[in-house]
Structure 1
Amino acid sequence: MRHKDDIVLRPACLFAFLKASPLILLAVTLLFLAWWLSPYFILFSLAACGAAWYRILYIRSIRYLIAVEYIRISYGIFCKRIDQAEMFRVKDFIITQSFLFQLFKLMNLTLISTDYTNLIIYLRGVPESDIVDIIRSRVREARRHNNVYEFN
């Protein structure tokens, strides 16, 4: 059940395309080889195209639900998997942006938690926003609500 305060993020289309670009380049190369050498390379080109299409769909199927009390990540096309981490367990935030990500205003957000099953939570290819500040305030609120205090 979702509330009005929940935030849903998805990897950007451009991020999915960038991740599938090596397979797309391979498909185009194999298509040129089919043109010059043998038409049997078309089959390999179609296989590479199918793999690229699947990768784009897989990346676009990822959902990051940032609720008040937890972060839920669901992904998969044929087999769904849902990972969930409590908000009060989030310990640190890391934002990384390559040069291409800076050009297209995308970011990778890494959350480090104290949960043993989800030590590192990756939010990859999300649009650049103030989501870190929102998560930070929700972590503080969840810790205060659950009486969780951190000692260094």
Structure 2
Amino acid sequence: MTQNDDILLKPARLYTFLKALPLMVLAIAFLFLAWTLSPYFILFSLAVCGGAWYRLLYIRSFRYLITTEYIQISQGIFFKRVDQVEMFRVKDYIITQSFVLLVCKLMCLTLKTTDVENQTVLFQGIPESAITDTIRERVQQARHNNNIYELN
């Protein structure tokens, strides 16, 4: 990765599966209830299964584009939303990893910004990497290019 390359990130497939897993388990539980108690539980199972598929597709629709000048977050299946944060507005970086994410070598990165609309930018379920170092370098370069100096 060189300084001028654009970086495109999206949540890992394993992360999306883990996020939809509770709904899948609930759908299987409704199928078991349909088998033992009443066949009408199949309708609940189909509804929950549809919700699980939607959740899978929705999480997979997230795209994080990191350029030298801005960070662009796009999301949505039926309705798209695209947010853009200028690189020089990024203030802090927070990496969080639950035990499951640690085992799967995934992470959630939170960027705190000075932008009024997007005070926090959340990168969920991205592969473990040194992306914070790359973002930090790009923030420093963007601040230098725009003559922005931080006063505490």
TM-score, normalised to structure 1's length?
0.97
Q: Percent identity?
A: 65
Deviation of residue 22 (structure 1)? 1.2
Give the aligned partner of residue 101 of structure 2: 101
- Structure 1: gaps spanning 5 or more residues: none
Counterparts of 1:103-118 in structure 2, within 5 Å, are 103-118=103-118
Matched residue SS, 2:132 = helix
Q: Separation in 1 of the partners of 2:23 and 2:142? A: 43
RMSD: 0.7
Structure 1 ranges of 4+ moved more than 6 A: none
Secondary structure, counterpart of 1:118 in structure 2: coil
- Cα distance in 2 for partners of 1:115, 1:78 equals 27
| TM-score of the superposed pair, with normalisation by structure 2 | 0.97
Give the 3-state SS of the residue equivalent to 1:115 in structure 2.
coil
Q: Give the Cα separation in 2 of the matches to 1:42 and 1:13.
A: 27
Q: Which runs of 5+ in 2 are unaligned?
A: none
Aligned residues: 149
Give CA-to-partner distance per residue, 1:95-142, whole Å, 9 cap, x none. 001111110000000000001111110001000011000000000000
CA distance in 1 between partners of 2:35 and 2:19 (Å): 26
Shift of 1:35: 0.3
1:15 pairs with 2:9 = no
Partner of 2:82: 82
Find the counterpart in structure 2 of residue 69 from structure 1: 69
